[in-house]
């Protein structure tokens, strides 16, 4: 089978993927709790024959810094509830919800995602995150979030248990025979009886086995622990946007981890973030991107950089940063921190320097042909199996990608022109997993 570029559509902030995207004249941030706003996003992605949509989530409101309230739109609807509504407004596209393993319980998650898979007829996906901010812990009875290693240890047990719960019922266990009065075959029911380091769950799940067997599992995480969990369990990995050579290195490294876990390298698709700014000409696109960057308030520039390097900074975004020698942000994230590394190497940089450099490194700017060239180069040279598209402004930025770039990708034969398979697993080239039930213990 010809390898095909995979496409996901990601919705983050109410006005787009950039923190100030909501300020653009075409953005509609006032509609962020309007189901029709999200339906338009999903229907646009489906028109572009995307494989799935992603909904971001976090169990907190970002008010650590004043700019989090003053300038930063981060209110959002609960994703599983919203995706259930969108299942009725779409017919083919996958529906991926971000759900944390740190502040949920396996039974709730197994039941909710199985329900979404039934409602959507096999289009559900779970974007697994482990949660990393103290703001989340404080909403669930703690002062600090769990230790990084412990979060991933809990996450691994969580995933395995959810899958055991999805395996509670054989596909043909529900008989519903009126003549005999038998509703379900007890011999085709499995009770988990799980007792592990973090969870004790008897089961069984009170929902039939999902149409996909296991709804598709996405995972994000650049640390060693995150990559190990993904290599062992994920169907696809949502990766950060990286410079080309670094992206190739990450891709090769993660594929090697997948193989080390006894899986085929193609069992896990790697989907980096793609933040396109596209227009009819390269100059128009460049001007649009520059305008979005310029709309970012100074307070966000300073506080974004301060948060990323783990130290307080003066309010002036043009003041040279004096890096503190003993910063430690490892428990929030162990992914490589390029900003901190540059500062510790002795470079004289300001918050505005770092913010602007990160912005331009993270975007793909140009005409439809130029953005498609960028996508094709990475896809064909060991840097990506597809992309999760995050338009900087919503809805117009995403519409521009679908109307301008997608036809170019289709013309090049890189991505699909119609939906063929019925489930998301099939669309990703994954088989439906057989039900796994332990052998009964001899008595």
Q: Tens of pLDDT along 18-72?
A: 999 999 999 998 898 999 999 999 999 999 999 999 998 887 777 777 777 777 7
Distance CA 216, CA 213 (A): 9
- The pTM for the full model equals 0.92
- Provide the terminal-to-terminal Cα distance of the chain, rounded to the nearest Å: 48
Averaged pLDDT of the chain: 91
Domains parsed from the chain with CATH numbers: 6-282+363-427 (3.20.20.30)
| pLDDT of 442 | 41
Q: Which helix (H) or strand (E) holds 37?
A: helix 35-47
Mean per-residue pLDDT, 380-404: 97
The DSSP letter of residue 209 is P
Mean per-residue pLDDT, 386-403: 97
Chain segment 304-328, per-residue pLDDT in tens:
999 889 888 999 999 999 888 766 5
Chain segment 76-132, per-residue pLDDT in tens:
899 999 999 999 999 999 999 999 998 899 999 999 999 999 999 999 999 998 877
| pLDDT of 61 | 76
Chain segment 134-178, per-residue pLDDT in tens:
788 888 887 776 777 888 899 999 999 999 999 999 999 999 999
Residue pair 14/76 in contact by the 8 Å Cβ criterion = yes
- The more confident residue out of 59 and 436 is 436
- The more confident residue out of 331 and 439 is 439
Q: Based on the number of CB atoms within 10 Å of its own CB, is 372 exposed (0-12), middle (13-18) or buried (19 or more)?
A: buried
Cα separations (Å) of 267 from 11, 124, 255, 261, 263?
A: 25, 18, 9, 11, 7
């Amino acid at each position: 089978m010809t390898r095909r570029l995979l496409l996901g559509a990601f919705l983050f902030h109410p006005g787009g993927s950039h923190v100030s995207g909501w300020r653009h004249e075409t953005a509609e941030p006032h509609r962020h709790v309007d189901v029709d706003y999200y339906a338009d996003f999903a229907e646009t992605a489906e028109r572009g024959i995307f494989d799935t949509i992603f909904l971001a989530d976090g169990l907190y409101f970002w008010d650590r810094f004043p700019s989090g309230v003053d300038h930063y739109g981060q209110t959002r609807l609960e994703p599983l509830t919203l995706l259930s509504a969108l299942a009725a407004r779409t017919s083919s596209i996958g529906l991926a919800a971000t759900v944390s393993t740190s502040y949920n319980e396996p039974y709730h998650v197994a039941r909710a995602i199985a329900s979404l898979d039934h409602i959507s007829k096999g289009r559900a996906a779970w974007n697994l995150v482990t949660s990393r901010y103290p703001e989340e812990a404080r909403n669930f009875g703690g002062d600090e979030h769990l230790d990084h290693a412990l979060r991933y240890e809990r996450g691994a047990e969580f995933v395995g248990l959810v899958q055991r719960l999805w395996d509670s019922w054989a596909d043909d266990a529900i008989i519903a025979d009126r003549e005999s009065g038998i509703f379900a075959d007890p011999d085709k029911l499995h009770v988990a009886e799980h007792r592990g380091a973090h969870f004790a769950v008897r089961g069984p799940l009170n929902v039939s086995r999902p149409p996909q067997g296991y709804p598709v599992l996405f995972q994000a995480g650049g640390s060693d622990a995150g990559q190990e969990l993904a290599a062992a369990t994920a169907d696809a990995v949502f990766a950060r946007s990286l410079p080309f050579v670094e992206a190739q290195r990450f891709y090769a490294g993660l594929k090697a981890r997948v193989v080390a876990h006894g899986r085929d390298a193609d069992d896990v698709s790697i989907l980096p973030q793609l933040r396109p700014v596209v227009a009819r000409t390269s100059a128009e696109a460049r001007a649009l991107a520059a305008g979005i960057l310029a709309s970012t308030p100074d307070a966000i520039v300073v506080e974004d950089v301060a948060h990323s390097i783990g130290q307080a900074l003066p309010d002036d975004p043009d003041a040279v940063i004096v890096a503190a020698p003993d910063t430690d942000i490892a428990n929030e994230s162990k992914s490589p921190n390029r900003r901190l590394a540059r500062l510790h190497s002795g470079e004289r940089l300001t918050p505005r320097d770092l913010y602007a450099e990160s912005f331009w490194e993270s975007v793909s700017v140009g005409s439809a042909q130029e953005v498609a060239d960028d996508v094709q180069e990475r896809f064909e040279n060991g840097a990506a199996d597809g992309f999760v598209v995050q338009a900087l402004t919503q809805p117009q930025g995403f519409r521009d990608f679908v109307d301008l770039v997608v036809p170019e990708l289709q013309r090049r034969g890189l991505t699909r022109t119609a939906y063929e398979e019925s489930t998301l697993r099939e669309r990703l080239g994954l088989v439906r997993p057989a039900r796994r039930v332990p052998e009964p213990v001899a008595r």
